[in-house]
Structure 1
């Protein structure tokens, strides 16, 4: 019990230290986004999610021990007009340790410009990067309102690249998940994979072994397809209500 109490107390204290900075970050992001929307920028949410092998197969390996298994990384974007008409990418995460696809953000910016015109491209910052930076650095960023490069696992999002195509790159603070409809879309995709993986599975049995083949690309494509325009509008409207609440309460 004392150990549990200490953990709770530590959580409360550490959270209180950064509430002010986090609130400033969130308000700065929302005010910047609303200003761009007022100037005619379309909002597009760009990001990635991980699909571990256990999610696809339904098998838990290791019997309680850590076992390194393949994980795929999906990169896509969407907004109030549905998924961006861009060929999303799927990477094996092991390959991303040594190689990043630097050209993808150029390609993405070009596609959204042709389809939507000028856009506010929202990318969620990585929590690990945010939490390891000193507090004074975070406060300085809030005051200076400087655009920064956002490093995802699979891609580097550069504000200068976005600017060259007429877009603006915005970093959504990592603790503001409820302001990112893409996170909800990823959750829907993963639930689709869990509930429908058997339909995309082929099995083969010989005299010694049994084999399981999963049509992963088809499974992911179908899951993305199921998150249609109507669902995207529901997700973005929910985010809009959160934005209005936050701006009304803390501005």
Structure 2
């Protein structure tokens, strides 16, 4: 008997999250599409379910532990476990020059991009541990790679800012530490690449499908798959 894989994708009403939910659902998984906006989340789930795929909207604001705990309660009641958690929800943060950026300007971006995944993992950890092959995918960015951002080849291509790159670098470190601490769960980070989304004003040169290739691949690894790694659609990438 085949058991349906249960997955949850945060920030999934649009962009990379929505495309990830779509691809996983059409492969036969039951996907919980998590979003903080009920109207947008419900609409996205309804559209993705139109052809018979299993996509269920679930309210989740990653800036609230109460919201994350409530979402876990919904999944617990509906499925009893969670096989795959994809921490995708993120905001761009301030675009100001570092010299013009104050600590207070960064609180919101850190609250979503760094503390958000911690809240969600805390809430869903018991459900992940109830799965036979639990996986966590952190949707990071090449902008969080110190090796990439200090590579002279990329100099002047992206304007320096403090918020988004710092939060993604922090998310990468969270990935390594969760992977070391949670030996029963495969935890990996993904760089989607420069993909056309609202986050960059659709200036990215990759399609949503290309941007979700690595997310989908890491979501589907077996118990002998990698953990504590950083990957894009072509393979491992430098921290």
Give yes or no for TM over 0.5: no
Which is greater in Rg?
1
TM-score (normalizing by structure 1):
0.30
Between Structure 1 and Structure 2, the one with more helix by share is 1
User: Which of structures 1 and 2 has the larger relative contact order (alpha carbons within 8 angstroms, sep 6+)?
Assistant: 1
Between Structure 1 and Structure 2, the one with more strand by share is 1
